[in-house]
Structure 1
Amino acid sequence: MKKNLKVKILTAVIMLLVFIGAAIILNRPDPDDVLSSAQKRIFAFAKVTAILGDNASPDTWTEGRRIGAQELEVRILTGKHKGAVLETINYLNAYYNVDAKLGTRLIVRLDYNDTGELYVVSIPNYDRSSILVIALIAFAILMVLVGGKQGARALLGLLFTLLNLWYILIPLVLKGVSPILATILIAAYTSAGALLLLTGYTKKTFCALVGCVGGVIAAGIFAWIITILTPMNGFNMSEAEELVIRASESPLKISGLLVSGILLSALGALMDTSMSIVSALHEVYEQNPSISKKQIFRSGMNIGRDAMGTMANTLILAFVGSAFNLLILFQVYEYPMIQILNSDMMAIEILQGIAGSVGIIATTPLVSALCATIFRFKGNKILTR
C-alpha cells in the first residue's frame, strides 16, 4: 500500500514538473517581441456614479432592448488610474447594449487624447467577473459535496487539463507544431493526469487512458480522411480570416486547426465513455473474479453499446446547439437542402459530431479488450486493482 502511494505521489510530482517546465519554456517572452495593439490597450473596472443624460428608449424590433445613448459619470476602480472620475457617452444598439444604471459595474477601455488627458474610449461589457467567480465556486462546492474525494479529484483534473490547453497546447500550435499532433499528445498527457487524480495508479486508470487516447486517434484519423476527401480544413472556419491576418508573421499552421478542434471537443466524451465502461467492468470482475476474458469483453461491448447512443447524441446535439442560430437562418431564408448540407459551416458541424461519435465507437471494443486482458493478468506488481 505504501509503495503504491509513493508511486502515485512520484507520478503526480513528475507530471507537475513536466507541466511547469514546458509552460515556462513555451511562454518565455522573446526580447525581440513588440507589444501588439491589444496589449497596448488599457482596460479597467469602473462603477457608474451618475447618469448625466439618457435618451435611450425600448424598441419593438429589439424585443424591448433600449436603443440610444447615455451620458455617464464613472469612477475607475482598478489599475494605475484607480479613483479617477470620468465622463463618457455610452452608445446602445441592438448588438452592443451595455445598458447602465446607477451603481452598475462596467469594463471600460481607456486612452489619452492629444493633450495627454485620460478619457473613456468605449464601454465593451458589464463587469461579470464577480458573478462568474461565484458560479465557479458554487460548482466546485457542489462537486465536492456530491462527489466527495472523487469530486475534488475531478476538479483538480479539470484544472490540470485547462492549464495544459492554455499554457502548452496553444503555445505549441503558435510556434508551428502540427496542431493535430500537438492535440493528440496533450490529450494523452492531460487524460493521464486527470485519470490518475481521479482513480490513482490502477488497472482501471491504465485501461481508461489507453481507450481514451485510442478513441481520440480514431476520431482524428476519421476527421483527417474526411477533410481530405471533401476537401475541408481550417481555412473553412469562420475565424480563419482573422487568424491569417493576426498570425501572418507566426509559423501557425491553420490547415490543421479544424481537426484539432474536433479532437478537443470529443476528448471529454471519450474520457467519460472509457471510464464508464472500465468502472462497470471492474465492478463485474470484482464480484466474479472467475469470469472469463470472453465474458468480460462481451459485457464491455454491451455496456458500450448503451454508452454509444447517449454519448453520440450528446456530441451531435452539442454541435447542433452551437450552430442553432445558423439553422434558424437557413429556415428564415429557405435555403435549399443541397446548399445547406454543402455549406462550410454545416459541413464542419456535421463532421465534428460524426468524428467524435466514431471515436466513441472505436473506444468501446478497445476498452473492452484491454479490460479483458488486464483484469485477468496476475503478473502486474505496479498497477493496483
Structure 2
Amino acid sequence: MKNLQCKLTRKRWLEIGVSALLFVLIIAWALVLEYTEPDREATAARKRFFAVARVTDILDDNAETQDWTEGRRIGQQYLEVEILNGPWKGETLEAINYLTIYTNVDAKIGTKIVVRLDLDDEGAPYIISIPNYNRAPVLLGLLAIFAALLLLIGRKKGLTALLGLVYTLACVWFIQVPMILRGAQPVVVTVVLVALTTAASLLFLNGFSRKTLCATLGCIGGVAVAGIFAALCGSISPLNGFNLPEAEELVLRASDRGLKISGLFVSGILIASLGAVMDVAMSISSACWELRELNPDLPRKALFRSGMNIGQDAMGTMANTLILAFAGSSLNTLLLFQIFDYPMIQIFNADSIAIEIIRGVAGTIGIILTVPLVALLSAEIMGPKKKA
C-alpha cells in the first residue's frame, strides 16, 4: 500500500512537472518571438491613442429615432467627456458623436465610452471619434462568471479544464499569430499548435493515463483528417485564404511581413474543429476506460464495438453542433441572398457559402473518423493483456 502511494505521488509530481514545463515552454517561445520582432513602421492605428472616457455632459443632441432603425437614433451628439486613463487622465474634452445605423454609441451622462485621440499641431489632445462603448467590465464579468461556474461545478476537473483553456488561448495569441505574421506556413504552425494544445489540455484534465493517450492520438488524427479534407476541397474548388472576407486587408500588410495568406483557410478549419473533435475523442476514451475498469477481461473486439456505439451517439450531436455553428456565422449572407433573390447557382457557388460548407463538412468528417480511430486505439491500448 505504501509503495502504491509512493508510486502515485511520484506520478503526480511528474504530471505537475510536465505541466509546468509546458507553461514555461510557451512563455519562453512567446518571449523569443516578442524580443526578436524586427522594427516595423507603425500603422495608423498604432499612431493614435485610445482611452476610456466618461460622458459628463451632453451639450447638444439632435439624434432622432427613424421608423426603419428598430429603435436606434440617427444624428449626432455634442459631448463633454472626462478621460479616465492614459497620459491625459482627468482632462475634460469635447467631442462630436456621430450616430449612424452602423456606428451607434448613443451616449448618456455617465456612460463610459472608448474614444480615439490624436494631437493637434500644438501637442494638445483632441477626440477624433467614439468607436465603441467601454464593454470591458461586462466581458470581464462574463469571463468571471464562466470561470466561477466551471470551478463550482467541476471543482478539481474544472480547475484543470480552465488551465487547459488558458493554455490553448495563450498558444493561439502568443505563438500561432506571431509565427504566421512572421511568414511561417500557417498550416504547419497550426498542426504543431493543435498537437501541443491537445496534449496539454488532456494532460491537465486527466494526467498521464492510457485514457489520455487514446484521446490525444485520436484527436490529433481527427483534426488532421479534417485539415486534409479541407485542403483537398480547397484545391479542387479552388478556395484558399485569399477568398476569406478579411483577405483584402491582410494583403496590404503581406508584402512587408512575408505573410502567407493562402494557408489561412485550412488553418482556421483546424482550429475551429479542434474543440468538437477533442470532445468526441475524450468522451469515447473515458467511456472505454470505465468499461475496462468494470471488466478488465473485456475482449478487444467488444471494447471496440462499445466505443463505436458510444461514439455514434456523440458523433450525431457534435456534428450537428459544428454544422449549425458554421451556418449561424453565415446567417447575414443567407439573408442578403434571399433579399436580392439570387439564383441558386450563384448562392451555391459564392465564395462565402462554399467556404462555410467546406468548413462545416470538413469539421464533421473529422468528428466522424475520430470515432473509429479512438475506439480502435482504446481497444488496442486498454484491452486485456495477451496471455502467454
Q: TM-score interval w.r.t. the shorter chain?
A: over 0.9
Structure 1 counterpart of 2:3: none
Q: Relative to structure 2, which stretch is displaced further, 6-15 or 154-163?
A: 6-15
Partner Cα distance (1:14, 1:160) in 2:
12
Kindly indicate whether residue 339 of structure 2 is the aligned counterpart of residue 343 of structure 1: no
Kindly indicate whether residue 34 of structure 2 is the aligned counterpart of residue 27 of structure 1: yes
Kindly indicate whether residue 99 of structure 2 is the aligned counterpart of residue 87 of structure 1: no
Kindly indicate whether residue 147 of structure 2 is the aligned counterpart of residue 140 of structure 1: yes
Alignment match of 1:264 (pick from 265, 268, 271): 271
Q: Once the 2 structures are TM-superposed, how far is the Cα of residue 286 of structure 1 from its aligned partner? A: 1.0
Per-residue displacement from partner, 1:52-76 (whole Å, max 9, x unpaired)?
A: 1100010111112000110100000
C-alpha change, 1:111 and 1:214, in structure 2 (3 Å) is same
Alignment match of 1:354 (pick from 354, 361, 370): 361
Per-residue displacement from partner, 1:227-285 (whole Å, max 9, x unpaired)?
A: 11111111111111110012321111100000000111100001101001111111111
Kindly indicate whether residue 297 of structure 2 is the aligned counterpart of residue 290 of structure 1: yes
**Letter matched to residue 94 of structure 1:** I
Structure 1 counterpart of 2:380: 373
Q: Aligned runs of 1:230-241 on 2, under 5 Å?
A: 230-241=237-248
Partner Cα distance (2:383, 2:124) in 1:
75
Structure 2 counterpart of 1:254: 261
**Letter matched to residue 96 of structure 1:** T
Partner Cα distance (1:342, 1:6) in 2:
55
Q: Once the 2 structures are TM-superposed, how far is the Cα of residue 30 of structure 1 from its aligned partner? A: 3.6
Q: Provide the secondary structure at the position in 1 that maps to 2:256.
A: coil
Partner Cα distance (1:2, 1:87) in 2:
64
Partner Cα distance (1:31, 1:104) in 2:
40
Structure 1 counterpart of 2:13: 6
Q: Relative to structure 2, which stretch is displaced further, 342-351 or 200-209?
A: 200-209
Structure 2 counterpart of 1:383: none
Q: Aligned runs of 1:149-164 on 2, under 5 Å?
A: 149-164=156-171
Partner Cα distance (1:316, 1:14) in 2:
36
Kindly indicate whether residue 292 of structure 2 is the aligned counterpart of residue 311 of structure 1: no
Structure 2 counterpart of 1:382: none
Q: Aligned runs of 1:25-104 on 2, under 5 Å?
A: 25-30=32-37, 32-104=39-111
Q: Provide the secondary structure at the position in 1 that maps to 2:316.
A: helix
Q: TM-score, normalised by structure 2?
A: 0.96
Per-residue displacement from partner, 1:309-332 (whole Å, max 9, x unpaired)?
A: 111111110000000011111111
Q: Provide the secondary structure at the position in 1 that maps to 2:60.
A: strand
Q: Once the 2 structures are TM-superposed, how far is the Cα of residue 362 of structure 1 from its aligned partner? A: 1.4
Q: Provide the secondary structure at the position in 2 that maps to 1:254.
A: coil
Structure 2 residues without counterparts, runs of 5 or longer: 1-7
Partner Cα distance (1:235, 1:302) in 2:
41
Partner Cα distance (2:147, 2:131) in 1:
29
Partner Cα distance (1:153, 1:5) in 2:
14
Q: Once the 2 structures are TM-superposed, how far is the Cα of residue 29 of structure 1 from its aligned partner? A: 4.8
Structure 1 counterpart of 2:336: 329
C-alpha change, 1:220 and 1:30, in structure 2 (3 Å) is closer
Structure 1 residues without counterparts, runs of 5 or longer: 380-385
Q: Provide the secondary structure at the position in 1 that maps to 2:290.
A: helix
Moved beyond 3 Å, runs of 4+: 29-32
Give the aligned length: 379
Kindly indicate whether residue 146 of structure 2 is the aligned counterpart of residue 105 of structure 1: no
Partner Cα distance (1:34, 1:174) in 2:
14
Kindly indicate whether residue 191 of structure 2 is the aligned counterpart of residue 184 of structure 1: yes
Partner Cα distance (1:164, 1:276) in 2:
24
Per-residue displacement from partner, 1:69-112 (whole Å, max 9, x unpaired)?
A: 10100000000100000011101010000000000000001111
Identity of aligned residues (%): 53
Partner Cα distance (2:71, 2:24) in 1:
53
Q: Provide the secondary structure at the position in 1 that maps to 2:81.
A: strand
Q: Provide the secondary structure at the position in 1 that maps to 2:127.
A: strand
Per-residue displacement from partner, 1:165-212 (whole Å, max 9, x unpaired)?
A: 000011111122211111111001011111111111111111110000
Residue pair 2:298, 2:384 contacting (<8 A) in 1 also: no
Partner Cα distance (1:359, 1:167) in 2:
26
Q: Once the 2 structures are TM-superposed, how far is the Cα of residue 154 of structure 1 from its aligned partner? A: 0.7
Across the aligned residues of Structure 1 and Structure 2, the Cα RMSD in angstroms comes to 1.2
Alignment match of 2:134 (pick from 127, 131, 134): 127
**Letter matched to residue 99 of structure 1:** D
Q: Provide the secondary structure at the position in 2 that maps to 1:248.
A: helix
